């Protein structure tokens, strides 16, 4: 399809490493970014589609939409790259496999494990909806499981914007048929309910092994026919265990035809699973079955996924998969034989044993391993990458310990609730509940050891409360406190009055008595604030709650309401700042982006998305600086101004000393500066070439210049000038020495010549000393200067003066 190959270099920066996906619109490659020296993924548009503005815009939309998202469970997109004949987006490379392959290869997993795996995706979708984006293609093929077993949502190529603003789009079509809502089929404007429907399809498929309406998935059935419930489908598949009715009803509501009949938001679904997550033994989804091979593929017009990933299986993994398939077939055959024997032995005995050992409806029932390889034809699998699983034995032990602590805590909590501890022990009870909530969160995130420690702390708090049940005075104070929180002033006055009779000096009772007198006014303010809050007027609600807290500083309701509204206002401000910051990043206004994101960080210092976005800003500023210095260096090199070029490369290395183009450029510039200094030395002082050593140095310099890969016109001109003076310095001049045949002649730098009447020498330009010696006569010494390009020179040397 594409004329791309391994090790091919794109934009003088991105080197192709491995093809990891392909589809109708292009290919996905694993790429090495040579400048930043990191691995990324590149989604490359087929060059034959570059003439189609719509296809190019889809790729650009994916980059623009996803760059606005900074969430730990959403694959990050870095930038959009385009030339005259090529376009692609660079994105984060996730080393893992898609949820479809994960479900196929994983051991049988229960409903709680499925929900824990999908919950981060629900949170990511809720976050995208808060920003104003609808994914519109939520399916197992677009969820990657990384090496930490964390799901990562990807492929926002057909995402639609449902909120007004500068990024509002009129995208209505697109998606994979089996997970499209009826509204999406009718090309209506995107809404979050489309993703809620697709999430229902995903859960349905993860639990049963099949999407709704399998194997005959048609547009008409999606629009008009209600699918059978998950439990009904499990019964059809002969799976005895069922999922809890509340979860079954939720999935049915998510698959409702009308958006108004579905849950109101992803946040609502997330909250539901927080409260109803199954525990203990639970139903195991049926394994994949070869029957799924016959599932109907959507027409080409319905397959709108921009670039469908391709599964790339290494040879070792293929061998393992074949071995597992062989083992599964043997197991299946063995089970079939056993089944026939059981039937032959008597149906009544089999029925009796099954009834004795059948688990409860909410318990998990193992399913034969023979069918664990159902190919899901309704989805397209992204790259399959090897992953290292944690030690299952250790995890199982830690999980069991955490669940035992949870059971112990729940017993204590139930005891406290029957005694109204939430009213008379509000503060300790709240602390206990916070510890339990933290433990629940850790348990859901599979951090079993920390969850055990939190549950132990919550148990200790609960036991403290149990030990404080009896004291009458504290009971009265608790009842009076509860009456104030309920707005029952007369009852509170009665309780605190009785407490003061028991302990007249009790400061809590005296103070609470005044609170009771203000309780009706506080209640009216709380009701008013709640009404404003329901109407969305959080500023007015905050004012009412503040006044209520002023009248009753100890009012838990007022304090919690004020904290809740303050939290909502902070959340709203946080989302606004994040949106403005990400928009500024998109517009490359990095200073504004940093300002907005730092303001957001003050509201949520530990938020991963804001820290990731700030890191992206720093990275963008860093890359911008590097690119600016690189351009300066290139311009200076082209004009052979090597010192400014060297300065620019050194600036890059101050930002990052590992940038290779700067390391190489610094070496190149330093070499040219050194050569230039030596050239200027010889060109300004050509007389130094009279020295043999300096002449050798000049010749070495010429050889070094000749060996260079490239040189500019200025260097070539200097080289020619040096070549001329070197040639002149090497050209000899005829010198005729005349004597009397009695005088011994010697020439410094030449040697002894002996006695002669006349002798011709060839000397290159320079200064020479001629010495004559004769016994009985004074020595004679003459200094001669041989000038370049002069004619023959005669020199007479005779010793004529006797000693």
Helix (H) or strand (E) holding 260: none
pLDDT tens track for 122-161? 999 998 998 888 988 999 989 999 888 899 998 876 655 5
pLDDT in the model for residue 384: 37
Q: Which helix (H) or strand (E) segment is 324 a member of?
A: helix 315-345
Query: Across all residues in the chain, what is the average pLDDT?
Result: 80
Nearest Cα to Cα of residue 609 among 638, 641, 571, 635:
571
Q: Name which of 137-141, 493-497, 600-604 the model is least confident about.
A: 493-497
Q: Residue for token digits 């017993």?
A: 411
Q: How many helices (H) and strands (E) does the chain have?
A: 26, 18
Contact indicator for 134, 160 with CB cutoff of 8 Å: yes
Calculate ∠ Cα 368-371-373, nearest 5°.
135
Q: What angle do CA 751, 757, 760 make, to 5 degrees?
A: 55
Predicted confidence band at 372 (pLDDT cuts at 50, 70, 90)?
very low
- Environment class of 380 (CB within 10 Å of its CB; exposed 0-12, middle 13-18, buried 19+): buried
> pLDDT tens-digit profile of 698-718?
999 999 998 887 788 999 999
Per the structure block, which two tokens stand in for 597? 């994101």
The answer to whether 511 touches 543, Cβ cutoff 8 Å, is no
Query: What is the C-alpha to C-alpha distance for residues 449 and 447, in angstroms, rounded to an integer?
Result: 6
Question: pTM here?
Answer: 0.41
pLDDT at 375: 35
Residue for token digits 């029932």?
365
Please state the φ and ψ torsions of residue 588, each to the nearest 5 degrees: 65, 25
Residue written as tokens 């109204």?
A: 420
Residue 690 has pLDDT above 50, yes or no: yes
The separation between CA 470 and the C-alpha centre of its own chain, rounded to angstroms, equals 55
Cβ neighbours of residue 366 closer than 8 Å, sequence gap 6 or more: 108, 284
User: Would you call 245 helix, strand, or coil by DSSP?
Assistant: helix
Residue 787: predicted pLDDT? 86
What local confidence, expressed as pLDDT, does residue 309 receive?
A: 35
- Reported confidence tier of residue 117, pLDDT bands at 50, 70, 90: very high
What is residue 353's predicted lDDT score, i.e. its pLDDT?
37
pLDDT bracket for residue 277 (50, 70, 90): confident
Q: Given this model, what pLDDT does residue 131 score?
A: 81
User: What's the pLDDT at 555?
Assistant: 80
Q: Given this model, what pLDDT does residue 302 score? A: 38
Percent of the chain's residues with pLDDT above 90: 36
Would the pLDDT of 199 be above 90?
yes
Residue entry with tokens 């069918």: 371
Give the integer Cα–Cα distance in Å for 18 and 69: 27
The most confident of 295-304, 415-424, 429-438, 777-786, by mean pLDDT: 777-786
pLDDT over 80 (residue 354): no
What sign has the CA pseudo-torsion 292, 151, 199, 185? negative
Lowest mean pLDDT among 228-232, 394-398, 419-423, 738-742: 419-423
> Is 80 exceeded by the pLDDT of residue 324?
no
pLDDT greater at residue 299 or residue 53: 53
Query: Tell me: the pLDDT tens digits for 515-528?
Result: 787 878 888 898 89
Upstream peptide bond of 48 is cis (omega within 30 degrees of 0)? no
Q: Which of the four pLDDT bands, split at 50, 70 and 90, describes residue 420?
A: low
Residue 641 has pLDDT above 90, yes or no: yes
pLDDT of 794 > 70? The answer is yes
Higher pLDDT: 114 or 395? It is: 114
Specify the residue for token string 């005891």: 415
Residues 584-590 have a mean pLDDT of 88
Which pLDDT score, from 0 to 100, does residue 387 have? 45
Structure confidence at residue 308 as a pLDDT band (50, 70, 90): very low
pLDDT bucket at 300, cuts 50 / 70 / 90: very low
Task: Please check the confidence at residue 355 and state whether its pLDDT lies above 60.
Answer: no
Structure tokens at 459: 């148990």
Least confidently predicted of 512-516, 651-655, 766-770: 512-516
Q: Which of 468-477, 483-492, 651-660 has the lowest mean pLDDT?
A: 468-477
For residue 470, name the pLDDT band (cuts at 50, 70, 90): low
């Amino acid at each position: 399809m594409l004329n791309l190959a391994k090790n091919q270099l794109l934009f003088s920066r991105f080197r192709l490493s491995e093809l990891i996906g392909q589809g109708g619109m292009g290919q996905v490659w694993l790429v090495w970014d040579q400048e930043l020296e990191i691995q990324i993924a590149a989604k490359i548009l087929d060059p034959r589609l570059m003439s189609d503005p719509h296809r190019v815009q889809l790729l650009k939309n994916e980059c623009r939409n996803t760059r606005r998202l900074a969430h730990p469970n959403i694959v990050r997109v870095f930038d959009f790259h385009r030339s005259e004949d090529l376009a692609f987006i660079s994105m984060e490379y996730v080393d893992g496999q898609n949820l479809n392959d994960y479900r196929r290869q994983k051991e049988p997993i229960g409903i709680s494990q499925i929900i824990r795996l999908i919950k981060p995706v629900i949170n990511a979708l809720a976050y995208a909806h808060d920003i104003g984006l609808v994914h519109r293609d939520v399916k197992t093929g677009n969820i990657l499981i990384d090496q930490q077993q964390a799901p990562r949502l990807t492929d926002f190529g057909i995402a639609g914007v449902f909120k007004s603003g500068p990024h509002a789009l009129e995208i209505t079509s697109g998606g994979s048929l089996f997970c499209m809502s009826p509204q999406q089929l009718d090309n209506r404007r995107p809404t979050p309910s489309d993703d809620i429907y697709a999430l229902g399809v995903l859960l349905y498929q993860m639990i049963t092994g099949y999407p709704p309406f399998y194997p005959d998935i048609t547009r008409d059935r999606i629009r008009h026919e209600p699918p059978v419930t998950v439990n009904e489908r499990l019964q059809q598949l002969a799976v005895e265990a069922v999922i809890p009715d509340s979860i079954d009803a939720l999935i049915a509501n998510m698959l409702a035809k009308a958006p108004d009949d579905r849950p109101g938001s992803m946040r609502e679904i997330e909250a539901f699973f927080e409260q109803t997550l199954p525990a203990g033994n639970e139903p195991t989804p049926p394994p994949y079955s070869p029957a799924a091979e016959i599932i109907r593929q959507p027409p080409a017009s319905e397959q709108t996924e921009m670039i469908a990933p391709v599964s790339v299986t290494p040879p070792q993994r293929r061998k393992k998969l074949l071995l597992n398939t062989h083992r599964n077939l043997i197991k299946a055959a063995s089970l079939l034989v056993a089944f026939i024997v059981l039937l032959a032995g008597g149906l009544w005995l089999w029925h009796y044993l099954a009834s004795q050992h059948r688990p409860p409806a909410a318990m998990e029932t193992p399913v034969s391993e023979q069918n664990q390889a159902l190919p899901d034809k309704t989805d397209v699998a992204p790259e399959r990458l090897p992953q290292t699983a944690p030690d299952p034995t250790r995890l199982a032990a830690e999980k069991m310990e955490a669940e035992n602590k949870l059971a112990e805590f729940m017993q204590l909590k139930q005891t406290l609730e029957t005694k109204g501890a939430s009213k008379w022990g509000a503060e300790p009870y709240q602390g206990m509940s916070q510890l339990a909530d933290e433990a629940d969160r850790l348990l859901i995130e599979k951090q079993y050891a920390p969850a055990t420690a939190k549950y132990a702390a919550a148990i200790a708090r609960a036991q403290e409360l149990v030990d404080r049940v009896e004291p009458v005075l504290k009971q009265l104070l608790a009842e009076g406190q509860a009456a104030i929180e309920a707005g029952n002033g007369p009852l509170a006055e009665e309780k605190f009055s009785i407490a003061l009779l028991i302990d007249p000096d009790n400061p809590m009772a005296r103070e609470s008595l005044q609170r009771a007198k203000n309780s009706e006014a506080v209640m009216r303010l709380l009701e008013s604030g709640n009404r404003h809050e329901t109407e969305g007027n959080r500023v007015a609600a905050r004012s009412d709650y503040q006044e209520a807290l002023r009248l009753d500083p100890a009012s838990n309701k007022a304090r919690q309401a004020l904290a809740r509204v303050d939290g909502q206002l902070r959340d709203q401000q946080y989302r606004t700042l994040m949106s403005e910051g990400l928009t500024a990043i998109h517009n490359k206004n990095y200073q504004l982006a940093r300002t907005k994101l730092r303001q957001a960080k003050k509201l949520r210092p530990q938020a991963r998305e804001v820290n990731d976005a700030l890191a992206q800003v720093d990275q963008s500023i860093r890359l911008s600086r590097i690119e600016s210095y690189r351009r300066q260096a290139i311009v200076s090199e082209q004009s052979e101004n090597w010192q400014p070029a060297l300065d620019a490369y050194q600036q890059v290395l101050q930002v990052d000393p590992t940038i290779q183009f700067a390391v190489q450029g610094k070496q190149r510039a330093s070499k040219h500066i050194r050569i230039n200094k030596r050239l200027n030395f010889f060109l300004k002082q050509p007389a130094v070439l009279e020295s043999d050593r300096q002449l050798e140095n000049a010749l070495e310099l010429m050889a070094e210049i000749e060996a260079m890969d490239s040189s500019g016109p200025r260097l070539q001109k200097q080289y020619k000038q040096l070549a001329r003076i070197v040639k002149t310095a090497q050209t000899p001049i005829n010198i005729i020495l005349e004597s009397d045949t009695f005088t011994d002649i010697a020439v410094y730098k030449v040697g002894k010549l002996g006695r002669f009447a006349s002798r011709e020498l060839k000397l290159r330009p320079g200064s020479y000393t001629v010495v004559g010696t004769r016994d009985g006569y004074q020595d004679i010494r003459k200094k001669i200067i041989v000038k370049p390009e002069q004619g023959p020179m005669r020199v007479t040397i005779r010793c004529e003066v006797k000693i």
